[in-house]
Structure 1
Amino acid sequence: MKKSKRYDTSHLIEDQSEPGSRGRVLKNKLGITSKREMDKREKAEQIRTIEELTNIFGVDHRFTASDICKIHRLWLSNIYI
């Protein structure tokens, strides 16, 4: 089957991998090329974010799409471009 360019996303930052990662790690601010190392970094950032979020949102908070975007930024903005 011929590959269509109709849905080509290779020009988007979200579809670019870190050089040297063999396509396994997204382009990132830290230059991490190891999938295992990136998993560790994401986990550490997730733990930090959860701790921070407990001070932002109360137990009765009703999450919105905007909240989810904020959580995503808090979690991954130190890692990804």
Structure 2
Amino acid sequence: MKHFLHVATLAPTFALTACNGGDLLSNFVPDEGYRVIHDLRYGDGPRRTLDLYVPEGAAPAAPTIVFFYGGGWQSGSKDDYLYVG
């Protein structure tokens, strides 16, 4: 019964996200505990921006992780990877 409840709970989420794994995972990201600085420019052109996710209380010299999504800079969007940030 417990397994059925999990499936029943997640089924609408799969339907709403068209079974996109990234969208599904992003639905579980909390809305607090970090701030996002959107669209920091690192070069010329409309797609050369990044989002910086900063945890609350992070030390100024805290390590930084850089995540490059696939697509060869031809397809995809950084907006599809909220769950990584």
Give 1 or 2: higher helix fraction: 1
What is the TM-score normalised by the length of structure 2?
A: 0.23
Give 1 or 2: higher strand fraction: 2
What is the TM-score normalised by the length of structure 1?
A: 0.24
